Structures are given as C-alpha cells and as structure tokens.
Amino acid sequence: MGKFFAKTVATALAVLFAAYVLKGVHVDSNVTALLVAVVLGLLNSFIKPILIILTIPITLFTLGLFLLVINIIIVKLAANLVPGFTVDGWLSALLFSLVVSFVSSIIEGLIGTGGDKERS
C-alpha cells in the first residue's frame, strides 16, 4: 500500500509540474492533481491494456508509434473524467504524457519506489 501511495504522490507532483511547464494543460488545485494521478493510474491499469490488445495490427504496422496515440487517448479521457483538469489539444496531451512519465520516473527513482526489492 505504501508503494501505491508513493507512486500516486509522485505522479501528482509530475502532473503539477507538467501543468506548470506546458501551456495547454490546466490543473485547478493540488487535490485535482492527486485525483488526476489516481484516474491515470486506473486508466493505465484497466483501459490501456485493452486498447493495446485491440490495436495490435496498427501498432505493428506503425512500428509501435501508435502507442503514443493510445497515451493521448488516455490523457484526454482523464481530462474528461476529472473536473478541474483540462488539456487543450492532442499535442498538449502528448507532451503532457511524456513530461509526466519522465518526471514521475525521476521522482520515483529519488524516493525509491522502483520495482526492485531492497536487499537487507
């Protein structure tokens, strides 16, 4: 449970950073950023795998670049589900997904929520 909370907080901080850096992304408050992090986590856990399976042929044809479109769809869906979170366009959604992924990876690396178990 601690890892889930740490990953959610790391993603929320990444969402706030992305909203600060990117012009087309707007987050109303810290609570909204936390809600966006939870919704993105749920969408990435349940909806994204289904989309990936359904789009295997086009993903193979585009050599994996279609996965970027799936990321955009997930971000736009989160923007529709969470009040106070808006993404202006497809390019903003793509940049948002890239920035959130990069920043949350850095934060998780700093606080130690990676997949490796700590050795005693």
Q: What is the pLDDT of residues 45-98, one digit of tens each?
A: 999 999 999 999 999 999 999 999 999 999 999 999 999 999 999 999 999 999
- Asked whether the beta carbons of 3 and 114 are under 8 A apart, the reply is no
Cα gap 72→22, rounded to integer Å:
15
Domain parsing of the chain, residue ranges: 2-111
- pLDDT category of residue 115 using cuts at 50, 70 and 90: low
Residue 26 structure tokens: 């707007």
Cα gap 52→12, rounded to integer Å:
25
What is the full DSSP assignment across 37-61? HHHHHHHHHHHHHHHHHHTHHHHHH
Q: pTM of the entire structure?
A: 0.89
Task: Examine the pLDDT at 120 and tell me if it is beyond 70.
Answer: no
Q: To which residue do tokens 């969408």 refer?
A: 43
Cα gap 33→11, rounded to integer Å:
8
| More reliable by pLDDT, 114 or 36 | 36
Q: To which residue do tokens 């529709």 refer?
A: 80
Task: Examine the pLDDT at 30 and tell me if it is beyond 70.
Answer: yes
Half-sphere exposure of 116 (CA within 13 A, CB side): 7
